[in-house]
Amino acid sequence: MQAHALEHEHGHGAPSGLMRWVTTTNHKDIGTLYLWFAAVMFLLAGSMAMAIRAELFQPGLQLVSPDFFNQLTTLHGLIMVFGVIMPAMTGFANWQVPLMIGAPDMAFPRMNNWSFWILPAAAILLVISLFLPGGAAAAGWTLYPPLFIQGGISYDLTIFAIHILGASSIMGSLNIITTILNMRAPGMTLMKMPLFVWTWLITAFLLIAVMPVLAGAVTMLLTDRNFDTHFFNAAGGGDPVLFQHVFWFFGHPEVYILILPAFGIVSQIIPTFARKPLFGYASMVYATASIAILSFLVWAHHMFTVGMPAVGQLYFMYATMLIAVPTGVKVFNWVATMWRGSLTFETPMLFAIAFVALFTIGGFTGLVLAMAPVDIQLHDTYYVVAHFHYVLVSGALFAIYAGVYYWLPKWTGHMYNETLGKWHFWLSMISFNVLFFPQHFLGLAGMPRRIPDYAVQFTEFNMISSIGGFVFGASQILMLIVVLQCIRGGRKAEAKPWEGAQGLEWTVPSPAPYHTFETPPVVK
Amino acid sequence: MGLRRALPVVLAAACASLAAAAWADYQINFPPPKSSLAYAINDLHILIMWVCVGIFIVVFGTMFYAIWKHRKSVGHQAAQFHESTTVEIIWTAIPFLILIGMAWPATRLILEQKDTSNPDVTIKVTGYQWKWEYDYLQDGVKFMSVLATPREQIENKAPKGPNYLLEVDEPMVVPVGKKVRLLLTANDVIHAWWVPALGVKQDTIPGFIRDAWFTATEPGTYRGQCAELCGKDHGFMPIVVEVKSEADYAAWLADKKAKVAAAAADAGKVFSKEELMARGATVYNANCASCHMPDGKGLPGVFPAITGSKVATGAKAGHIGIVLAGKPGSAMPAFGPQLNDADIAAVVTYQRNGLGNSTGDLVQPAEIKALRK
Amino acid sequence: MSAQSHGGYYLPAPSYWPILGSAALLGLTLGATLFIHQVAGGGWVLLAGFALLVWMLFGWFGQVIGESEQGLYNQQVDSGFRWSMGWFIFSEVMFFAAFFGALFYVRTLSVPDLTSANNALLWPGYTGGWPTQGPGIKEAFEPMGAWGIPAWNTLILLSSGVTVTWAHWGLKRGNRTQLIAGLIATVALGLLFLGLQAYEYHHAYTELGLTLGAGVYGATFFMLTGFHGLHVTLGTIMLITILGRSLAGHFTPERHFAFEAVSWYWHFVDVVWLGLFIFVYWL
């Protein structure tokens, strides 16, 4: 991505070629590695999604066996969460946080390298598991026992992959949190930080708090599977539902881990293209913090059908509904930022606007699902599948796209092809809705999730959804082309390619030099 | 720019196709409710959905107005305001009030859903990989309910029937207008018992009993599916509930009781090889074939073969023992509690003399009885 | 690379240690899986991964200590270490919280629930209570009493918290003898704790019938005390490391973050033990 970068002044006999990337301690290199890793994993897990949609194109079993179908849904989920969205967001943090707070690099550059290079090891474990006897884990990305206990060798590999992914996330978060708290340029108080930095500060806190809990949960699975413990077995006084509690104590904050940095990216982009300061900066910060705190208190809304007592259903329903308040504040603030601005619609802005509208649809279906009595009907149906894809694809993924287009000029020194970018946006936006909107109807009509075959009355919407899926999948190739083109050449980008952009990252040249802010800037 | 001109056309086409889809009788909401709870859930859902749609229109109407009017290309100059405490307090408080309005009916419905007291009929429902067992506790009637869709339809070798994947050999039968309480549990992994028209979904958790209830409002056949991933054939364990008038229900129950008595008589009988093989094939296909495959070859690496296996060609007692007690730590369940002696005798005979095996020995119900502890 | 060229914040050169660490983790996890499933060679892969990890830790920490002793780390680097060590200990607290949460859940929710009227259909005659091996396990066991070895271990760990603080006072006053004596005492108390813990495990397995498989009591007992024991082991190794560095003349009364990090960690291990003593052994 930046061949020029090797000309940096530090002799040392720094390795070149492949070894440069393996041993690098530079936050920009590591950010780039994270983003490319996410891209490769996106193609892998995306092709799994294509296989899933192809199998579901019509009723009957056509392409894959039911067991392999379950492996596909499990790996698709695990890889998209841990191998795509999280690494991509961490890639943004690596590239942008030091640039935005005026730090010379991340706080611990060597540990930063390790955090990244654990990811390929985990990916290797997951990919190996596909080829072991019995195939990969097929118990869903939520790993629920006792089904998870039944599986073979690949299930243990999956557990260990999650362990080391957790180690990577914790080290990555320690690095980010320390960088933000300790390495801001003089004068950059916390309440002057760009919102992207704020959201990552809170995300890093969430990661440090919940990744160890996930590690504990999968450790209990490991010992229940192999060492005769009875955490999740009623015969020994345990309870399968205990796993769900521990898992979702991790899992719900995890959802915000995936989306908070997306909020941050969008909060950078909308003011730029509205040419107007972000509305309600302070309330944005407080809303983000409130969402993070609430995320620890709502986990059992994923479990309304396990048979909790009424008081449990009520508490988790009320607490979950409360999340709508700070989330609403954020949406209102974005709309107010656009109000009476001077708007232009370059690709990053298009993705950001789509994010606001479509994420909000995911938020509304979330509110419907928060209603415990209604969730009884919708739990584990395609309605839920539609809900979380609105939040994670048109939410997190669209924000990642917006961020890539927004900062690509800074990273590569070239402008991307705006026409192709717009094609990518419109194709993605339309096909995304064709893909996922009908899934609401499927869920309401009674189609459970995670089934390889379905009753005939679900055929039409599944066909529409699959067609949308294929177009969506194909459209993402465009993105790859745009990025590769932009790396190879194109119109030279100025230091500040966007008229309305604010912030320290636009004060350094494009492409950003290998080392930036070696002397800290002073923020007034 | 070409793209800009093409877009409205593409959008209009997409909208038109969606609208056409709606006309074509595609179901876009819950199935028609057939229990008091399902009615209440429907009403709550409709209420919340319209509130959400209303808010969406207001908020995004504002946003698209700004997108249209406050464009740079029409020469709009950016204002520089960036906060207003009053506005921010208002849009924090209003959603809060709306939420309280939503929580009120939801709370009442939760309390109603959880009230399983004073049932007229109590049925214990047990989830197995991949079938359901219904046990009418007061009446001593107990039976398995398995998918009835033929494999040819699933493998696209025969046209699919109207109830494809939603049909079972023996449905659960309940009387109309009576409060039915379900005691739900599972034998192996977590399943979920779900019939949308009755408004009931409850996870079945091995080792624990959870309860749920419904009162069906009109006779009919209502279909649902397992709603918690439970392994390979999660998509192939439907639930069918037949709601009958009280008289029909009583007749059905009497018929069932007579069959129970007949089955008890089987336990003492000595069967011929042909009888055992024929009955064994039926039992095998209903209980074993989904893992060990209809031809007995299993799935390499996942489920072992019966054909030529050490168990099915070795000592009889070992074979019967595994069928009765299952294999802990694997997906092989204990069939002892699920099947009667005659069925187990038949299926063991079938496995030892069919599916490519030929040990030549017969197993009679009395041998099973002796090996049960 | 000179520290000054980065506004004082030391930025390390490219390093091979992290990739070795990743290879080590791959070997450890793959080896452990193969070993558990008794695949030939799995144990060797596991061992190789472990050896590589130990080598990496020695090399990497060795380099960091070297850089520190050369004075490459300024005040800002030092405060970065403090922030991240604090957050790291917080993450460890959350790891233990998962297991304490499981203990709380089974004691207050799942075990009492198993005795309910509904569940009597499945588990007739089960009376619950704590400790329990659960309704489906026949083999009985005796629980571990609180007022024997565990009470002594509490005293030992609390004393070690005092000795490490005493050593810290010595370091801050420039009294190297007090520093080294305090550290030796702390290490000795740590080893004594571990020895008693090992004896207790042996006693549990051979005489009490208390094993990992002894229902959810056995599972929570061994997983909580076991992970704690692992942390005491790591803490003791860290104490031995800074004891070695103290003997080599490292640390000044003003700058000794490594010492403080280890002592924070040791206090954390101490506090976890108090939780264990109260909720696992006593109540």
Which of C1, C5, C25, C63 to probe by mutation at the A interface, max A CB count within 10 Å?
Answer: C25
- Which range is least confidently modeled, A13-17, A117-121, A373-377? A13-17
Residue A293 to residue A296: CA distance in whole angstroms: 6
Chain C residues closer than 8 Å to B211 by CB: 118
From chain C, the residues in CB contact with A177 under 8 A are 83-84, 87
What sign does the dihedral B147-B150-B151-B155 (CA atoms) show? negative
Q: Over chain C, what HEC string results?
A: CCHHHHCCCCCCCCCCHHHHHHHHHHHHHHHHHHHHCCCCCHHHHHHHHHHHHHHHHHHHHHHHHHHHHCCCCCHHHHHHHHHHHHHHHHHHHHHHHHHHHHHHHHHHHHHHHHCCCCHHHCCCCCCCCCCCCCCCCCCCCCCCCCCCHHHHHHHHHHHHHHHHHHHHHHHHHCCHHHHHHHHHHHHHHHHHHHHHHHHHHHHHHHHHCCCCCCHHHHHHHHHHHHHHHHHHHHHHHHHHHHHHHHHCCCCCCCCCHHHHHHHHHHHHHHHHHHHHHHHHHHC
Instruction: Look at chain B and count its residues.
Output: 373
Check whether A379 has a pLDDT greater than 50: yes
Tens of pLDDT, residue by residue over A40-50, are 999 999 999 99
Tokens standing for residue A496:
């500040």
* Cα(C174)–Cα(C154) distance, integer angstroms: 30
Cα angle: A58, vertex A59, A64; to 5 degrees: 85
Which stretch of A14-18, A420-424, B61-65, B115-119 has the lowest confidence by average pLDDT? Answer: A14-18
Q: Which residues pair with B186 in a beta bridge?
A: B127, B206
Give residue C4's pLDDT.
40
Burial call C184-203: b when 16+ CB within 10 Å, e when fewer? bbbbebbbbbbebbeebbee
Per-residue CA distances from B39 to A375, A441, B26, B192 (Å): 14, 18, 21, 21
Set of chain B residues whose Cβ sits within 8 Å of the Cβ of C123: 207
* Cis amide bond preceding B130, omega within 30: yes
Residue A58 contacts residue A459 (beta carbons within 8 Å) = yes
| A491 interfaces chain C, CB cutoff of 8 Å | no
Q: Minimal Cα distance from B116: which residue of C?
A: C118
pLDDT digits (tens, 9 = 90+) for C39-90: 999 999 999 999 999 999 999 999 999 999 998 999 999 999 999 999 999 9
DSSP A339: T
Residue C117 has pLDDT above 60, yes or no: yes
> Looking at the annotation, which residues of A are catalytic?
76, 105, 141, 168-169, 252, 254, 256, 267, 301-302, 327, 330, 449
CB contact under 8 A, A229 and C92: no
**What pLDDT digit, counting tens, does each position of B224-273 carry?**
999 999 999 999 999 999 999 999 999 999 999 988 888 777 777 788 88
Closest to A24 in 3D by CA, of B102, C12, B338, C29: C12
Q: Residue A161: which pLDDT band, with cuts at 50, 70 and 90? A: very high
* β-strand partners of B127: B132, B186
**pLDDT score for B300:** 78
Q: Above 50 in pLDDT, residue B23? A: no
Residue C7 has its nearest CB partner, among A109, A227, A518, at: A518
Shortest Cα distance from C11 to chain A (angstroms)? Answer: 7
User: Tokens at residue C32, please?
Assistant: 């452990």
- Residue type at C1? M
Q: Over the stretch B294-317, which tens digit does the pLDDT of each residue have?
A: 888 888 777 888 888 888 888 888
Mutate to test the interface with B, among A64, A232, A342 (most CBs of B within 10 A): A342
Neighbours of chain C (3+ CB pairs under 8 A): A, B
Find the helix packing angle between A418-445 and A382-391, rounded to 10°.
150
The pLDDT assigned to B6 comes to: 53
pLDDT tens per residue across span B130-161 = 999 999 998 989 999 999 999 999 999 999 99
Q: Is the pLDDT of residue B21 over 50?
A: no
Interface contacts (B, C; CB < 8 Å)? 18
Residue B338 has pLDDT above 90, yes or no: no
The reported pLDDT for the residue numbered B13 is 55
Q: To which residue do tokens 């008289």 refer?
A: B247
* Alpha-carbon span A51 to A65, nearest angstrom: 12
CA distance C184 to chain A (A): 31
CB contact under 8 A, C118 and B124: no
| CB A72 within 8 Å of CB A130 | no
Q: What is the ipTM of this complex?
A: 0.94
Task: Find chain B residues with C-beta within 8 A of A317's C-beta.
Answer: 103, 106-107, 110
Chain segment C159-201, per-residue pLDDT in tens: 999 999 999 999 999 999 999 999 999 999 999 999 999 999 9
- Cβ of B226 within 8 Å of Cβ of A376? The answer is no
Task: Give the number of other Cβ atoms within 10 Å of residue A418's Cβ.
Answer: 14
The answer to whether residues A58 and A70 touch, using CB atoms and an 8 Å cutoff, is: no
* B230 vs B246: CA distance, rounded Å: 35
Alpha helices in B24-133 (DSSP H): 36-69, 85-113
Given an 8 Å threshold on Cβ–Cβ distance, is A156 in contact with C33? yes
The CA distance from A374 to A119, in Å, is 39
> Can you list the positions of beta strands (E) in chain B?
121-128, 131-136, 141-145, 172-175, 179-186, 191-195, 200-204, 210-215, 220-225, 238-244
Q: Is C103 on the interface with A (CB under 8 A)?
A: no
Instruction: Tell whether pTM > 0.95.
Output: no
